[in-house]
């Protein structure tokens, strides 16, 4: 079993061999439509003169594909798909699965992290699932080619003139605001750090919470420089009633103790 940061190697220990099969896109789309137990077809493996022959037969109810093209007529995909067997060669290929629940294809993983990774097995056979050439397959390919060759944009004749006038804008409002803030930021020069700290402590004696905009107005410092100082002495609230505001760290809240003594 796998621990956090490790991989479940049960598949390797069991010497599990898997097939790596390339299938047409339309076939995988039809498989996704399977109901009930998810049965999509039957796989036949036979031998002819000592040579393995493999073929896949798609279930009849999954042969109807969604309408393709403007004609809107039903198109049937071929049922028979013979396999073209290929050698793995000198490669070492393996299949891994990863799930957020820690379960991968029936293999249970005890991963402590947010996901479980398991080795399903080593690829022992490669194959390509190809459709048998038939009238239905040729019709499907013809409609797919016609659909893909259509231009993405089409010209359309208007019955009446367009009455809505869209006048060009020299500059949008958000661009103007961005440029204004950029210029204002550029004019601000970094001050002495101790002086900025004094201004911040003085401000936090008056109020406990400030947003960054108010602190920029008080200190007249660049935002990046101000945030660097605030990270050393303050806490940024990301949730709660005072979300998106800064407050002093407990060790810097000396003014609270002085206020209690004066009371």
Q: What is the pLDDT of residue 108?
A: 38
Comparing CA positions, the residue from 95, 72, 79 lying closest to residue 27 is: 79
Structure confidence at residue 234 as a pLDDT band (50, 70, 90): very high
Q: What angle do CA 246, 248, 251 make, to 5 degrees?
A: 155
Higher pLDDT, 208 or 114: 208
Structure confidence at residue 132 as a pLDDT band (50, 70, 90): confident
Higher pLDDT, 245 or 171: 245
Q: What is the pLDDT of residue 168?
A: 75
Structure confidence at residue 37 as a pLDDT band (50, 70, 90): confident
Structure confidence at residue 5 as a pLDDT band (50, 70, 90): low
Mean pLDDT, range 111-129, rounded to an integer:
74
Q: Compute the mean pLDDT over every residue in the chain, rounded to the nearest whole number.
A: 78
Mean pLDDT, range 21-42, rounded to an integer:
84
Lowest-pLDDT choice from 6-20, 80-94, 103-117:
103-117
Structure confidence at residue 144 as a pLDDT band (50, 70, 90): confident
CB 140 within 8 A of CB 30: no
Structure confidence at residue 70 as a pLDDT band (50, 70, 90): low
CB 79 within 8 A of CB 40: no
Higher pLDDT, 43 or 191: 43
* Predicted confidence (pLDDT) per residue in 157-200, tens digit: 888 887 777 777 777 787 888 777 777 666 667 788 999 999 99
Strand partners, 245: 237
Structure confidence at residue 226 as a pLDDT band (50, 70, 90): very high
Higher pLDDT, 109 or 171: 171
Q: What is the pLDDT of residue 245?
A: 95
Mean pLDDT, range 121-131, rounded to an integer:
87
Q: What is the pLDDT of residue 114?
A: 47
Q: Is 121 left (phi over 0), alpha (psi -120 to 50) or beta?
A: left
CB 87 within 8 A of CB 96: no
């Amino acid at each position: 079993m796998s621990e956090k940061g490790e991989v479940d190697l049960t598949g390797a220990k069991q010497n599990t061999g898997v097939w790596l099969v390339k299938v047409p896109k339309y076939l995988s789309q039809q498989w996704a439509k399977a109901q009930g137990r998810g049965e999509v077809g039957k796989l036949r493996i036979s031998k002819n003169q000592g040579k393995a022959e493999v073929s896949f037969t798609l279930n009849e109810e999954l042969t109807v594909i969604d309408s393709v093209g403007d004609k809107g007529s039903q198109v049937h995909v071929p049922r028979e798909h013979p396999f073209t067997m290929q050698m793995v060669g000198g490669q070492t290929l393996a299949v891994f699965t990863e799930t957020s629940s820690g379960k991968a294809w029936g293999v249970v993983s005890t991963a402590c992290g947010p996901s479980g990774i398991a080795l399903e097995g080593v690829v022992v056979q490669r194959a390509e699932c190809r459709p048998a050439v038939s009238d239905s397959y040729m019709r499907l390919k013809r409609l797919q080619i016609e659909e893909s060759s259509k231009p993405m944009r089409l010209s359309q004749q208007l019955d009446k003139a367009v009455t809505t006038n869209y006048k060009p804008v020299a500059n949008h409002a958000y661009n103007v605001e961005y440029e204004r803030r950029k210029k204002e930021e550029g004019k601000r020069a970094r001050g002495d750090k101790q002086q900025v700290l004094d201004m911040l402590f003085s401000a936090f004696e008056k109020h406990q919470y400030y947003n960054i905009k108010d602190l920029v107005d008080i200190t007249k410092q660049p935002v990046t420089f101000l945030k660097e100082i605030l990270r050393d002495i303050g806490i940024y609230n990301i949730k709660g009633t005072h979300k998106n505001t800064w407050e002093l760290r407990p060790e810097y809240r000396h003014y609270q103790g002085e206020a209690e003594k004066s009371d």
